[in-house]
Chain A
Amino acid sequence: MRSSAARSRNRFILLMLAPATVLLAGLTLIPFVVSVGFSLTNYSLTAPNDIAFIGLGNYLALFSSSEFWNAAWITVLFTVVAVGLQLVLGVGIAALLHHETRAVSALRLIYLLPMAITPVAAVFTFRMMFNPTLGVFNYILKTMGLPAQDWLGSPTMALVSLILVDSWQWTPFILLIAAGGLAALDEEPLEAARMDGAGPMAIFFQHTLPMLFPYLAVAIVFRSIDAFKTFDIIFVLTNGGPGVATRTLNLLAYKQGIEFLSMGYAAAIAIVMLIVTIVASQLFLRRVDLFKPKAAL
Chain B
Amino acid sequence: MSKSVLPPKGGLHLPITRRSLLQATAILSGAGILSVHGVPVFASEVFDDIKGQWESAKMDWKRQSGATIVLNGVQHPWMDAITPLVPHFTKLTGIEVKVQTQSESEYIASLPVKLGAKSATPDVYMVWALGQAVTAGWLEPLGPMFADPKLTDLAWWDVDDLFPSTRAYQTWADGNQYVVSVTAEAQTLFANKTMLDEKGLALPKTMDELLATAKALKTDDIAGIAMRAKSGDGATWPAGGFVFSYGGAIIGLDGKVAVDQPEAVAAIDMYGKLLREAGPIGSGNYHWMECLNDFMAGAVAMSSDSSNFATDIGNKDKSAVAGQAIYGGMPTAAGKPAKPNIYNWTIGMNPNAANKDAAFLFLLWATSKPTAAMAAAAGLATQRTSAWKTSAFGERFGKQAVSAVLENLNAADADLMKATWFHAKGPQILDAFGIGVNEVVTGAKDAQSAMTAAAEKMRAAIG
Contacts and interface: CB of A to CB of B under 8 A. Distances in A.
B155 interface: no
A239 B231 contact: yes
Interface stretch (B185-193, B283-291, B309-317, B391-399): B283-291
Nearest to A147: B281
Q: Which of B231, B293, B444 has the most CB of A within 10 A?
A: B231
A257 to B, nearest CB: 9
B428 A260 contact: yes
Given A132-B282, A133-B299, A238 B231 contact: yes
A152 B280 CA distance: 13
A239 B281 contact: no
B427 interface: yes
Interface in A87-124: none
Given A243-B438, A243-B442, A47 B281 contact: no
A134 interface: yes
A259 B280 contact: no
Interface string A121-159: 000000000111110001000000000111111110010
B269 interface: no
B109 interface: yes
Given A133-B223, A259-B108, A152 B444 contact: no
22 contacts: A47-B135, A131-B290, A131-B293, A132-B281, A133-B294, A134-B294, A134-B297, A138-B281, A152-B284, A153-B281, A155-B444, A238-B230, A238-B231, A239-B232, A241-B232, A241-B284, A241-B438, A242-B444, A243-B435, A255-B431, A261-B136, A261-B427
Given A133-B282, A138-B281, 9 more contacts: A46-B136, A133-B300, A134-B293, A153-B282, A239-B234, A241-B231, A242-B438, A243-B438, A260-B431
Which bucket holds chain B's interface residue count? 35 or more
B221 to A, nearest CB: 9
Given A239-B234, A242-B285, A46 B132 contact: yes
Nearest to B135: A46
Contacts of B297: 133-134
B305 interface: no
Nearest to B112: A45
B263 interface: no
Contacts of B444: 155, 242-243
A39 B288 CA distance: 36
Given A154-B442, A243-B442, A259 B431 contact: yes
Nearest to A262: B428
Nearest to B436: A243
A46 B424 contact: yes
Given A134-B299, A260-B428, A242 B132 contact: no
Interface in A245-277: 255, 258-261
Interface residues of A, number: 33
A172 interface: no
A151 B284 CA distance: 10
Contacts, number: 107
A158 B230 CA distance: 12
Interface string B421-448: 0001101100100010011001010000
Nearest to A138: B281
B163 to A, nearest CB: 29
A244 interface: yes
Contacts of B335: none
Given A154-B442, A238-B231, A133 B284 contact: no
Given A47-B136, A133-B282, A259 B427 contact: yes
B282 A150 contact: yes
B87 interface: no
Interface string B408-430: 00000000000000001101100
B439 A243 contact: yes
A259 B128 CA distance: 10
Best-buried of B136, B231, B285, B438 by chain A (most CB within 10 Å) = B285
A237 B290 CA distance: 12
A256 to B, nearest CB: 9
Nearest to B109: A258
Contacts of B299: 133-134
Contacts of A239: 230-232, 234
Nearest to A49: B137
A149 B290 CA distance: 16
Contacts of A149: 281
A244 B435 contact: yes
Contacts of A243: 231, 435, 438-439, 442, 444
B305 to A, nearest CB: 16
Contacts of B149: none
A48 interface: yes
Given A46-B424, A260-B427, A261-B112, A242 B284 contact: yes
Q: Chain B CB within 10 Å — which of A47, A235, A259 has the most? A: A259
B116 interface: yes
A179 to B, nearest CB: 35
Interface in B241-297: 280-285, 290, 293-294, 297
Nearest 8 A-B pairs (CB), nearest first?
A241-B231, A132-B282, A153-B284, A46-B136, A152-B285, A153-B282, A132-B281, A45-B116
Contacts of A48: 116, 136
B131 to A, nearest CB: 9
Contacts of A238: 230-231, 285
Contacts of B300: 133
B113 to A, nearest CB: 8
Contacts of A152: 282, 284-285
B281 A241 contact: no
Given A45-B112, A242-B444, A244-B231, A154 B284 contact: yes
